[in-house]
Amino acid sequence: MSHHPDATPAPSAAPPVTIPTLQAWRAEGRRIVMVTAYDAAMTRLVDPVVDVILVGDSVGNVCLGFDNTLPVSLAMMNHHVEAVARARPRALLVADMPFLTFHLDLADTIRNAGGFLQRGAAAVKLEGGVARVPVVQALVSCEIPVMGHLGLTPQSVNAMGGFKVQGRAVAQARRIIDDARRLEDAGCFSLVLEGIPSELAARITESLTIPTIGIGAGPDCSGQVLVLHDLLGLLPGRKAKFVRTYVDGYGLLQAGLEAYAEDVRAGRFPGPAESYALPEAARAALDAPDGGD
């Protein structure tokens, strides 16, 4: 089974988004738009619209059927980073470092992160606070740009006792503020702030010079990120409080599939427009008494 597109979509004529671009927008107060994507088709859909594309380890929950991100391997992430990079996005392409790929050894961490850049990513994202400072410094020293991730860090789901809002207690809020400053000092070019109170995110954003990207962190970050399948309504069921669904994608796609099934069963598909005609000369030859021999 194959798909034969009439034409390959042309690369966007817009200039590519770079890390200096994001830093300039942060200084100007221009908001940054970031979404996840996990394959070339979805990348072509989002690239004309957004500024940053994250190949998130959320692919585990969204596409691979896992309950959380912990089972996502480096090989899985490499597969999806390659798929997204083949679409040649103009948006800044960031790859998530999955669980256990930046925890054990700095040499392995550099090799794993560098592999993402070799596959087309422009930067990597990793979770954690002050404990990750040596990791960030090692990567940045190898010219591997790093986006940090604080607050509700999904790879810490077991330690946190579930996907719970972080930073509500004073001590925890102070620790996240300190972590943010330490990560900026270590060389992170941006921070994702997830699942923290809006006022805490605003305080962190105000205290930093690098862009902050919020998800469940209120409106005062430098930009926002959502999982593409959430905002397009492609996943049925209950959504997190911070998700806004902009279209009933699941319902629309299901309606299209039902219409296709009805047409097949009724003999309405394929019709002449979707069928190939036999050339007249070939038809005449086949209709000849000798079968064209």
Structural domain harbouring 273: 252-287
Q: 77-110 pLDDT, tens per residue?
A: 999 999 999 999 999 999 999 999 999 999 999 9
194 a catalytic residue:
yes
Would 138 be classed as within a structural domain?
yes
Would 2 be classed as within a structural domain?
no
Judge if 189 and 283 occupy the same domain: no
Would 202 be classed as within a structural domain?
yes
The domain that contains 137 carries what CATH number? 3.20.20.60
The confidence score (pLDDT) of residue 203 equals 98
Judge if 183 and 271 occupy the same domain: no
Judge if 157 and 280 occupy the same domain: no
CA angle in degrees (0–180, nearest 5) for 159-116-210: 70
Q: 23-82 pLDDT, tens per residue?
A: 999 999 999 999 999 999 999 999 999 999 999 999 999 999 999 999 999 999 999 999
% the chain with pLDDT above 90: 92
At residue 1, does pLDDT exceed 80? no
Tokens 């699942």 locate to 195
Judge if 265 and 172 occupy the same domain: no
The confidence score (pLDDT) of residue 4 equals 55
The confidence score (pLDDT) of residue 239 equals 87
Would 173 be classed as within a structural domain?
yes
Would 122 be classed as within a structural domain?
yes
Active-site option among 127, 143, 194, 206:
194
Judge if 45 and 177 occupy the same domain: yes
CA 59 to chain CA centroid, Å, is: 8
Q: 267-293 pLDDT, tens per residue?
A: 999 999 999 999 999 999 999 987 555
What is the total count of domains within the chain? 2
